Copies of this chain bind each other. A is one copy, B any other.
């Protein structure tokens, strides 16, 4: 399985690339700048010793079964628009969060997204060329990027097709210590995306890299 990570030069993209590469997944780091993508791929290989390449976003997406969008929200729509021709039925995993930092505000606040959520905006941009699943909003980039840190937390998934969420869960659960929980349709992402500023506020108060777990579910 090959996964493209657009915004793989950022903290979340890097952390996810390290974990997936370490789990044996082939990773293509995407960036606007192919040189920066190649440099990021070098860094990931140093940390995780897997099959990792770097390329411009559209090239990274081409031939990937899953395309993860881990760019800042301000760049999300433009990034997706720039790769839409490379999409042909893939699953797009949107991990972006409409933090108020996109407009110079605080990371403990969000801005309203006309489509309802960042994930719904992503679906609007890619149209019928790909199906969006929203994920990875509550996992600390720092914890992901540090392989010596033992993960033990949940990843909340929103999407309109159960099979897509199952495929994303299968991929993400290759990372030891991450459990995926299907929380509902893509429109629910407007709630999950709010968890990032909540956890940022908790991190500031408690000097932590907080994550979340859903209690009360039957063990699988």
A residues contacting B by CB (< 8 A) are 108, 140, 143, 152-153, 156, 181-184, 188, 191-192, 194-195, 197-199, 201-202, 204-218
Q: How far is the CA of A173 from the CA of B201 in the complex (A)?
A: 22
Give the Cβ gap from A218 to chain B, nearest Cβ, in Å: 7
Q: How far is the CA of A201 from the CA of B214 in the complex (A)?
A: 12
Main secondary structure of the interface of A (DSSP, over half): mixed
* CB atoms of B188 and A192 under 8 A apart: no
Q: How far is the CA of A96 from the CA of B217 in the complex (A)?
A: 24
**If the complex has contacts A108-B188, A191-B195, A194-B191, are A183 and B202 also in contact, measured as CB distance less than 8 A?**
yes
Contact of A202 among B152, B184, B195, B198 (CB under 8 A): B184
* CB atoms of A211 and B216 under 8 A apart: yes
